[in-house]
Structure formats: C-alpha cells, structure tokens
Amino acid sequence: MKERILITGGAGFIGSNLAAALLKRPNTDVVIADDFSSGDWRNLIDVDCEVRAVFCDDTQLLQDIANGHFSAIYHEAAITDTTVMDQKLMMNVNTDAFAALLEASAQSGTRVIYASSAGTYGNSPAPNCIGSGEEPENIYGFSKLAMDRIAARWYDKHPSSIIGLRYFNVYGPGEHHKNERDGTKTASMMLQWYQCIQAGNPIKAFEHGEQRRDFVYIGDVIGANLAALESSRSGVCNVGSGKARSYNDIINNLNRTLSIQHPVEFIHNPFPFFQDHTEADLTETSALLHWQPQWSLEQGMDDYIKLLEKGHRGPLETA
C-alpha cells in the first residue's frame, strides 16, 4: 500500500529537503502543510506533492490526522527565527500547536517525528547530552524543550513512536529564503558568507571566530529523519556531526574551496544568548536511530559550495 506522509513546515529548509528525499522512496506520497510564514514556494518547484497552505494546527488537518489519513508525520513547522522575543507567540506556534498535533496523532496511532533543537542546551557545557544541561537561553530554546517534555508525557500512552530530533546547526541547499526575509538573516554562515564573497563584501564574523558549533550537513539531517521512521521506540536524540568546529574553520573552508583569501572583519557580538560551544553527544542517537552522521564539515561544505556555484537553490535531492 502507498505510504502518505505529512510534513508540516514542508516549504522550509529542512521540510522541503525531507519531502524531496521521501518522494524518492518507492510507494511514497507526501502532503505538505505550511502557512508560508517563513518558508518559500521556490523550494517546492521540483517537489511533486500535495501542498496545503494552512497552520499546522488547522482544524481540518488535525481531523485528518486523527482519522488516520497519514502513515507518519514529520513536524518541522515552527517560528525558526531565534531572535523573536514574543514569548506568547513563540509558545503558541511552537509548543501549543505541537501538543494539539500529538493529541490528534494519538487517536489514530500515527508515528510523529518532530524537530527539536540544540537551543534546548543553551550555553551549558559541551558535549551536549540528552537529559543534562537543558538550560535554554531564549524563548525559542525553551519552546523546544517544552515540546520535548510534552512528548515525553505521551510516550507510554501513544500507540506509536514519538521521536524528537534535536538538530544542531544545519546547513545546505534549500536555505536561501532564510537570508531573504525582512529583519534577521538566519541562514547558515556558510551561505551568508558565501553571499558576502559573491557580492565583494568582507566577511563579518563575531570576535574572534573561535566560537565552536556542531555544524551538520542537510544530507545527514535527512538520513537521521529517514532512520527515525524505523525506530522501534519513542525518545529524543541529538542530530549533529558529533564534532565542534569553529567559525574560523568555515571561513578557511570557503577560502579553500573557492581558492581565495577573502578579507575578514571581526565585530562585536550583540547576542547575550549566543551559544559559544555546542557539540552533539551521539550516544542516544545511535541507540534510538541506529544511525551515524556521514558528512565531515569539509565534505559537507565542498558539496554545498559546488551546488551554490552551479546556482542550485532547491533541496539537495533535486540537484
């Protein structure tokens, strides 16, 4: 029988990549529910699926979930701009809507795989392990931690698995829209700085580029999500490369792949909640998903920059 998989937030960076990857599987159809508040229709040009322009807690959508219209649900919809400070808005969109979706999915016993975040760890010491150091520094991180806590309350009574994936810093094709909306630019620094180079502007980095993050290529994020479809139990786990790399490493890789030496200007960091060191501990990831990351920073950036140089802006699987 044909699988019919729902992706909320499917016009976004990760959701559209996931849709394109799922459509490559045999007997799989995809339905996207996205309110187009931050996503981009251009991500879906080569992704042939049903698209509904609705909120992820739309009444009809929840009814369809409760009636078992979907074989699995990927929940990616969220306010993804981490500088949004409106607490009520963030909690309504990210946490309350998820609670409603979980309740509907419990009625039909539909598996839910949802996007959590490394923002749940705030600035607690790395490596970041599930169950410790969950001290978010902003309302975005808290909204994701609140989702994990709601999910955990369902583990025993939900007829199917609920799997939370705490993504670290994801980069790769399909994120252009994050640099094109008004206000804060939220695309990865790989894309932001690539675009500075193209425009002939200096790279601006927060002093002095030695903050370390776990940067994970979209190919690995797709891999973890596909593995979560097979997971035999509920849980939450990290999705990262397992390595902390510096912002200077990104600059060096841009220079290396493009054979240039681009000027860098170091600037003051205005964000008090900035995470200075994240690094995914992958112990629970391999136990829950039986999955390991495949892409190093060098391999991921080589792949991404090749696609950028070709002018590709859609999901990885449509390149």
Ligand X SMILES: NC(=O)c1ccc[n+]([C@@H]2O[C@H](COP(=O)([O-])OP(=O)(O)OC[C@H]3O[C@@H](n4cnc5c(N)ncnc54)[C@H](O)[C@@H]3O)[C@@H](O)[C@H]2O)c1
Task: Single out the residue of 20, 38, 158, 313 in contact with ligand X (rule: CB under 6 A).
Answer: 38
Question: Helix 189-199 crosses helix 297-309 at what angle (to 10 degrees)?
Answer: 40
- ∠ CA 288-293-298, nearest 5°, is 165
Smallest separation, CB 114 to ligand X (Å): 8
Q: Does 285 bind ligand X (CB under 6 A)?
A: no
Cα torsion for 114, 118, 124, 125, to the nearest 10°? Answer: 120
Between 189 and 203, whose beta carbon lies closer to ligand X?
189
Helix boundaries (H) for 232-296: 247-258, 283-289
Residue 100 CA to residue 117 CA, distance in Å, equals: 20
Of 73-81, 196-204, 223-231, 264-272, which segment contacts ligand X by CB under 6 A?
Answer: 73-81
Can you name the residues that pair with 164 across neighbouring β-strands? 114, 236
The amino acid at residue 59 is T
Contact indicator for 120, 148 with CB cutoff of 8 Å: yes
Q: Does 8 bind ligand X (CB under 6 A)?
A: yes
CB-CB neighbours of 287 under 10 Å: 13
Binders of ligand X: how many residues, by CB under 6 A?
28
Between 127 and 208, whose beta carbon lies closer to ligand X?
127
Q: Does 14 bind ligand X (CB under 6 A)?
A: yes
185 flagged as catalytic:
no
Contact indicator for 21, 219 with CB cutoff of 8 Å: no
Q: Which of 114, 121, 140, 304 is catalytic?
A: 140
Contact indicator for 208, 247 with CB cutoff of 8 Å: no
Between 239 and 305, whose beta carbon lies closer to ligand X?
239
167 flagged as catalytic:
no
Smallest separation, CB 184 to ligand X (Å): 12
Among all chains, which residue has been given the structure tokens 């995809």? 30
Q: Which of 121, 144, 167, 178 is catalytic?
A: 178
Smallest separation, CB 53 to ligand X (Å): 9
Q: Does 37 bind ligand X (CB under 6 A)?
A: yes
Q: Does 47 bind ligand X (CB under 6 A)?
A: no
Between 96 and 298, whose beta carbon lies closer to ligand X?
96
Smallest separation, CB 35 to ligand X (Å): 4
Letters for 162-201 (x = contact with ligand X by CB under 6 A, - = none) are -----x-xx-------x-----------------------
Tokens coding 81: 């701009």
Contact indicator for 97, 55 with CB cutoff of 8 Å: yes
Smallest separation, CB 303 to ligand X (Å): 17
Chain residues 139-168 in contact with ligand X, contact rule CB under 6 A: 167
Q: Does 275 bind ligand X (CB under 6 A)?
A: no
Sequential DSSP letters for 196-249: HHHHTPPEEEETTS--EE-EEEHHHHHHHHHHHTT-SS-EEEEES-S--EEHHH
Smallest separation, CB 304 to ligand X (Å): 13
Q: Does 32 bind ligand X (CB under 6 A)?
A: no
Q: How far is CA 295 from CA 72, 105, 189, 298, in A?
A: 27, 33, 17, 8
Q: Does 295 bind ligand X (CB under 6 A)?
A: no
Instruction: Enumerate binding residues for ligand X (CB under 6 A).
Output: 8-9, 11-15, 33-39, 55-56, 76-78, 80, 93, 97, 115, 117, 167, 169-170, 178
Q: Which of the residues are catalytic?
A: 140, 178
